[in-house]
Amino acid sequence: MDIDDFRTETRDWLEKNCPPGARGPGEISNGSTKIAIRDADTRIWLQRMVEKGWTVPNWPKEYGGGRLSTAEYVVLLEEMAAIQARPALSSFGTSMIGPTLLEFGTDEQKQRHLPRIARAEVEWCQGYSEPGSGSDLASLQTRAVLDGDHYVINGSKIWTSGAQHADWMFILVRTNKDVPKHEGISFMLLPMDQAGVRVKPIALLSGVSTFNETFFDNALAARDDLVGELNKGWTVGKRLLQHERSGMEALVTGSTTGDDSEIQDVAREFIGTVDDKLADPIVRDEITSYQMNIAALHLTQRRVVEESQDGATPGPATSIFKVVNSELVQDYHDLKTRLRGSLGFGVDEDEFSEDEREMVHEFFFSRAGSIYSGSNEIQRNIIAKRVLGLPD
Ligand SMILES: Cc1cc2nc3c(=O)[nH]c(=O)nc-3n(C[C@H](O)[C@H](O)[C@H](O)COP(=O)(O)OP(=O)(O)OC[C@H]3O[C@@H](n4cnc5c(N)ncnc54)[C@H](O)[C@@H]3O)c2cc1C
């Protein structure tokens, strides 16, 4: 179909099918079977998007996707943004393990796992980091030993986001300890609801507890849930990280950072305007630089998509997006907090409004952006080696 016709059709469909309560800020499903969607409009929106195949717009139809081309996917996201439609589903399934299974999974694994992800019937968590293995991930020690039809897993993971309500985990495990560390790792899938898996929440400075320690005591992963070859899991695990660092949506649209119009609103409210311009020239300057940096990031993302063969397979350049994006998000929250002056200090105190406290919690959480998914120092190492080709 001609892209302009596709845009018109998409616009009409969204107008008819996206209920008012699914527009603007609000609830977004992550697919977990353990979290009920509270808002009726959000539920209806999810159901309609599932039927349309647009929870995973670029996946093949047989796995519940919409089979959109990259150009059509961009149009869909632009039209959703125009009416402030929230994503119907945002999960580790759609952004990380799904695309990885599309590339490395067997037909049987794809049939078994992908449609459930697309239909928001499952949420996944990521079992990578361990107490002694963060940046040096390949040193991981959690063991898996084949016993009949199952791998028996023992050890522990840490910082496992969402493990408390995840249904499945994708996990990196050691399956051979007598070879160089990268060559003895395998990538597996395991159900969380089993006696051998125990999840213990970790409380954060930002007030929430989004991640956990996860312990494995003879936990079982089916032999059929080994992804890729035994001991070749490092390759699979690295590709998943590239998906995590780019996010397909960010790759196709170049939109990941905070909305600068929100900063301008805060600036107007707290420092006022003169002749319809923000009163303080230094703040004006900071907002302008922020806007320019976002524009540069978005253009770079679009260029990388256009340069990649099919527009969908991310590579090491995603490390650039991760560094720049996380730093821009931090700038965004830093500036917003500073603009509010003494109202930007409230953490839990009663004299601050819920909105003011929420903003400070968001500021705290933005600090984590340069750590998770591999710290920014590690991303700079990857950029030096794999993008710029500098020697070790
Ligand atoms: C909010 C959040 C959510 C997370 N969710 C998950 C999850 O769901 N699943 C999961 O598996 N993990 C998760 N993580 C863990 C995350 O991947 C690790 O924290 C990260 O990889 C860093 O590892 P580390 O904390 O062990 O730090 P370390 O590796 O101990 O690093 C400490 C410091 O040393 C620096 N450093 C280390 N090595 C080098 C080097 N070679 N060159 C330069 N500097 C270096 C690092 O940049 C860092 O500043 C999450 C983390 C956060 C903050």
CATH at residue 211 = 2.40.110.10
Residue 377 CB less than 6 A away from ligand 1: yes
Contact 88, 118 (CB under 8 A): no
Residue 380 CB less than 6 A away from ligand 1: no
Same domain, 64 and 151: no
Same domain, 299 and 185: no
CA 382 to ligand 1 center in whole angstroms: 14
Same domain, 224 and 259: no
Give the pTM: 0.91
Q: What is the pLDDT of residue 149?
A: 97
What is the SS3 assignment for 60? coil
Residue 156 CB less than 6 A away from ligand 1: no
Q: Please write the tens of the pLDDT for every residue from 177-201.
A: 999 999 999 999 999 999 999 999 9
Residues tagged active-site: 244
CA 371 to ligand 1 center in whole angstroms: 5
Element (H, E) at 198: strand 197-202
Q: Please write the tens of the pLDDT for every residue from 356-373.
A: 888 888 888 889 899 998
Ligand 1 pocket: which of 142, 210, 371 to mutate (most atoms within 8 A of CB): 371
Q: What is the CATH number of the domain that holds 276?
A: 1.20.140.10
**Residue 114 forms part of a structural domain:** no
* End residue of a domain, out of 180, 198, 231: 231
**Residue 31 forms part of a structural domain:** yes
Q: What is the pLDDT of residue 256?
A: 53
What is the SS3 assignment for 329? helix
Residue 161 CB less than 6 A away from ligand 1: yes
**Residue 100 forms part of a structural domain:** no
Q: What is the CATH number of the domain that holds 64?
A: 1.10.540.10
Q: What is the pLDDT of residue 254?
A: 54
Q: What is the pLDDT of residue 299?
A: 83
Same domain, 195 and 140: yes
Same domain, 47 and 139: no
Q: What is the pLDDT of residue 252?
A: 58
Q: What is the pLDDT of residue 304?
A: 77
Same domain, 129 and 195: yes
Residue 330 is given by DSSP the state H
Q: What is the pLDDT of residue 340?
A: 85
Domain of 351? 254-387
Ligand 1 pocket: which of 375, 378, 381 to mutate (most atoms within 8 A of CB): 375
Domain count for the chain: 3
Residue 129 CB less than 6 A away from ligand 1: yes
**Residue 97 forms part of a structural domain:** no
Residues 106-120 as b/e (b if ≥16 CB within 10 A, e otherwise) read eeebbebbbbbbbbb
* End residue of a domain, out of 182, 197, 231: 231
What is the SS3 assignment for 142? coil
Residues forming a β-bridge with 251: none
Contact 143, 231 (CB under 8 A): no
CA 142 to ligand 1 center in whole angstroms: 17
Which residue numbers in the chain have pLDDT < 70?
A: 205-207, 247-260, 308-313
Q: What is the pLDDT of residue 118?
A: 97
Same domain, 146 and 269: no
- Cα–Cα nearest to 246, from 110, 112, 99, 69: 99
